[in-house]
Amino acid sequence: MEAAVACSCVHEISQSFAHLREKEADLELSEIYQTSLMSALIDGVYDGSVTIAELLEHGDFGLGTFNDLDGELVAFDSEVHQLREDGSARVAAMDQKTPFAVMTHFRPTISGELMTALDKLEVQDIIDKLVGSPNLFCAFRIDGRFERVETRTVPRQTKPYRPMLQAIERQPVFKFEKTAGTLIGFRCPPYVQGINVAGFHVHYITDDRRGGGHVLDYRLLEGKLEIAKISKLRIDLPQTESFQQATLHSEEMSKAIEAAEG
C-alpha cells in the first residue's frame, strides 16, 4: 500500500538503505521497556517510582518525561537529558524519577544517509517503508542538520495534578532554526494507543545539548537514519495509589492522546 504523502524520491531513498544482518542475539535483546501507560499520563498520573538509573538498566535509548511532568526526557548512548519548560537543558540525575518513559537497547538493523531535504511526513514514510509492517514497533535515530525543528515542552505541575490536556494548555513551544541535533523516536502500531502512543513519538535535542523537546514538526536537510525493528514490549505498571485509582480507558482517550502527543 502506498502512503498518501510521498515525495517522488521516497522509494529511491528507501532502496538505498543497508539492511544489516539481523543477528539473532541482537534481536533477542531488542525489546521496548516502558514504565506506566500513556493513558495514565493523560489522566494526570505524574508521579512514578522508577529512577533514571533503573531506566538505564532497561535501555540506553528512549524518551519520556519526569515526575511532576517536569520537562521532556530524551536518552541515547546511555545519557539521559532533561529539557525543561524554561528552555533549559541538563543531564538528568540518576535519582530523578519518571512517571512515563519508553526505553530500548538500541541496536539498529537498518541504516542509511538521507541526502535530500525532507519534511517530517516524508521521513515517516521512509521509515514505514523500511520497517515494512505497521504491526511491529521500531526505534529510530536521526543525527543531522535541520532547517527547522518545532518542539514543545511540558510544563512542571504541582498537586493537585490536572489532566494532561489542561496541563499543556500553556505549554511553551520552541522553534529551532538551522540547528544540528539528534531525533530520538519510536513508531508504535495503532493497536497500542493508550498503552503507548500509536504512530510516531519523537524527541529532539540540539548538538550543543541546550535545547529541544517533544517534536511537533521538522524539516531535515541531511542526516543519518538508523532503525531498529522491535517485536517485544514489556510494561512495568506502577504500584502507586494514583495509578491504581486512575481512569485508564474512556471514549475520549484516543482523541486526548492525539491532542497531547500528536
Q: Which is nearer to Zn ion, 21 or 170 (CB)?
A: 170
Stretch that binds Zn ion, among 99-107, 118-126, 169-177, 214-222 (CB under 5 A): 214-222
Task: Judge whether 42 and 159 are in contact, CB under 8 Å.
Answer: no
Rank residues 105 and 203 by Cβ distance to Zn ion and give the closer one.
Answer: 203
What would the x/- binding string for Zn ion be over residues 171 to 210, using CB under 5 A? ----------------------------------------
The whole-angstrom separation of Cα 215 and Cα 153 is: 9
Residue nearest to Zn ion (CB): 214
The whole-angstrom separation of Cα 167 and Cα 142 is 29
At its nearest, how many Å lie between Zn ion and the CB of residue 102? 9
Measured from the CB atom, is 114 or 184 closer to Zn ion?
184
Shortest Å, Cβ 213 to Zn ion:
8
By CB under 5 A, residue 214 contacts Zn ion: yes
Strand 233-236, strand 32-35: pairing: parallel
Site for Zn ion in 33-92 (CB under 5 A): none
In the bound state with Zn ion, the residue whose beta carbon lies nearer, of 141 and 214, is 214
Shortest approach of Zn ion to residue 171 CB, angstroms? 11
Is the CB of 58 or the CB of 203 nearer to Zn ion? Answer: 203
Shortest CB 67 distance to Zn ion, Å:
15
CB of 201 to Zn ion, least distance (A): 6
- Determine the size of the site formed for Zn ion (CB under 5 A): 1
User: Minimum distance between the CB of residue 260 and Zn ion, rounded to whole angstroms?
Assistant: 9
Only one of the segments 83-91, 114-122, 134-142, 213-221 lies at the binding site for Zn ion (rule: CB under 5 A); that segment is: 213-221
Cβ of residue 98: shortest distance to Zn ion, in angstroms? 12
How would you write the chain as a 3-class SS string?
CCCCCCCCCHHHHHHCCEECCCCHHHHHHCCEEEECCHHHHHCCCCCCCEEHHHHHHCCCEEEEECHHHCCEEEEECCEEEEECCCCCEEECCCCCEECCEEEECCCCCEEEEECCCEEHHHHHHHHHHHHCCCCCEEEEEEEEEEEEEEEECCCCCCCCCCCHHHHCCCCCEEEEEEEEEEEEEEEECHHHECCECCEEEEEEEECCCCCEEEEEEEEEEEEEEEEEEECCEEEECCCCHHHHHCCCCCCCHHHHHHHHHC
Mark the segment that binds Zn ion (CB under 5 A) among 45-53, 133-141, 211-219, 246-254. Answer: 211-219
Instruction: Using CB under 5 A, list all residues that contact Zn ion.
Output: 214
